[in-house]
Amino acid sequence: MTPTLEELAASHGIETRYVSETGDARQLGDAALRSLLAVLRVDPDKGAPGRFETARHTPSLSCVSPSGRRLWGVTCQLYSLRSERTLGFGDFEDLAKLAEVAGAAGAGFLGVNPLHAPFLANPGHYSPYSPSTRRFLNPFCIAVDRLDGGSDVKARMVAEEPRLLDGLNDDLIDYARAGSVKARLLRAVFDEGRAVDGQALTAYRTRHGAGLEQFALFEAISAYVVAGGGGAGWLSWPESLRDVNGAAVAQFRNDHASDIAFHAWLQMVAEEQLHDAQRRALAAGMAVGLYLDLAVGVAPDGAETWIDPQVTVPDARVGSPPDMFNAAGQDWGLAPLSPEVLAERGYRPLAEAYDAMMQHAGAVRIDHVMGLARLWWIARGHDASEGGYVRYPLGAMVDVAADASRRHHCLVIGEDLGTVPDGFRPVMDEANILSYRVLYFEKRGGHGFVPPQDYPHRSLACISTHDLATLSGWWSGTDIELRQTLGRQDEAATDRDRLERDADRRALLRALDEQGLLPQDAKPYVAPDAALPDALSQDLAIAIHRFAARTASHLVAVQLDDMIMAKRQPNMPGTTDAYPNWRIRSEVPLEALAGNETFTSMALAMREERP
């Protein structure tokens, strides 16, 4: 009996129906089902039923459990850090110094954006959530002046080009220029030789084996093609260089040994400096230390897909369905992992990504953790709104994370925001994967904000994230105005959001008052007809952070931007050039942070609430 289109799709792991973020039942149309079957190489009209792996939906392992201590920590965007020694964007030395400042202030961990390897030959491809690979580190984060001879090389280059560093530390990062300068400096240090321990590098390359060699080879070819006027991603390379096992690639490997060694050396140095940052974080008194972020996927033309093209699905991209913030859905432009090939490989590609992070961290955050169960796939030639969910064997996916967590004794946090499938959070809780609770969203319908004591213990609570308004921006509604200015919503939606934000601000004031946290001069604002102030006061901001600190959540994260009351958010989802995503520098340099009155007052409040 020939299966219906729905039955065929379901048998291959496609969810023909799902419940949206707002609780509405949605059904995929025939066009979406056909497009997704096609990317799975199944003929919608003649394909045989599949056998999605249902037996592995129950995890058999759990991640390491949090200790009994309720900790707070600081989160930041590493690139945004600035200091007297910074070269265009923050580096691993800045990360270590911030860990020392935060540790001295009582923080138990320091969270940071993904540190995965981008395209060194194309610094203009700079989103930390669209890496070339998740198995290796970002060489742009290397602190040049921490390398033997690094300061001398920089001084020599500046003497030859006096304007080399002019404007490099402006308020907005110029990645193309700053990245080019950094790459030139790193290559000059390598060629100069003082920072290169040949024996250590040989041992490092031997230890990391084929994976490192292939990544370094990719980077060397990428630089070679870009130097000739081509693109950094392999999909734009000459056909002969696209096959990692081809004769032309083998010849390139023989002809460019020094270039390949350079990129292997960059990884060795990056690992050493990140390891040193974690050591210094723990020495500063942090119980967890670094809290690193795992992106949900990789760029389709990066090292990961060139080295192992079968492990991803070439004709699909990862995104998200339409929701309250993006009526058309989102296309993240990432290559989805193939559920079938992952299973065939024993989930090793995923395990290697976890290992690469957890060896340097006390905690990791899995971005869009629902990807362990399903991802929104968008077929080539289709919009995000025409995509659909493709399932992954949840039990097996969780077991991979849990196994790595145990090996490295590393906490795991799952970013479970957006459209969360029924039954997903209980599975995460059973596996000791901490939920991710954002104060802005923790509301009970018309009954105000969730009281602190009702937050789940197995969770990380925070006020905001890099994709949302900072606390000061949220209070002032700058994100609402920005969405209208950028043309992402009409005037009616803007008026609706303003009214909702006004109600949320009043509800938050009531929640603070119920906890005895509302500052005396803010008490009149609780009245329904009182005009609320346009700007957030420091006292009120501190009270809101005390509220977060009182939650039952095991971890509470405070954005560095909120600790200095910055207004601009790091990223505006759904935009590219319309907003300076991932380019905004911190308003307070590291040298001034420990003496910054707002920062110290916030830290004091957190220490008092979470000693």
pLDDT at 55: 46
Q: What is the mean pLDDT of residues 537-548?
A: 98
Sign of CA dihedral 473, 477, 480, 481: negative
Helix axes 257-283, 198-227, angle to 10 degrees: 120
Q: What is the pLDDT of residues 249-308, one digit of tens each?
A: 999 999 999 999 999 999 999 999 999 999 999 999 999 999 999 999 999 999 999 999
Whether pTM > 0.85 for this model: the answer is: yes
By CB neighbour count within 10 A (0-12 exposed, 13-18 middle, 19+ buried), where does 406 fall?
middle
DSSP 90-156: --HHHHHHHHHHHHHTT-SEEEE---EE--TT-TT---TTS-SEEEEE-GGG--GGGSTTHHHHHHH
Q: How far apart are CA 173 and CA 583, in angstroms?
A: 5
- 50 — pLDDT class (breaks 50, 70, 90): confident
- 56 — pLDDT class (breaks 50, 70, 90): low
Q: What is the mean pLDDT of residues 76-89?
A: 96
3-state secondary structure of 457: coil
Q: What is the pLDDT of residues 103-139, one digit of tens each?
A: 999 999 999 999 999 999 999 999 999 999 999 999 9
Q: What is the mean pLDDT of residues 209-225?
A: 98
pLDDT at 1: 54
Q: What is the pLDDT of residues 426-473, one digit of tens each?
A: 999 999 999 999 999 999 977 899 999 999 999 999 999 999 999 999
Q: What is the pLDDT of residues 460-514, one digit of tens each?
A: 999 999 999 999 999 999 999 999 999 888 899 999 999 999 999 999 999 999 9
Q: What is the mean pLDDT of residues 213-219?
A: 98
Residue 389 pLDDT greater than 90, yes or no: yes
Residue 200 pLDDT greater than 70, yes or no: yes
% pLDDT > 90, the chain: 90
Q: How far apart are CA 428 and CA 462, in angstroms?
A: 19
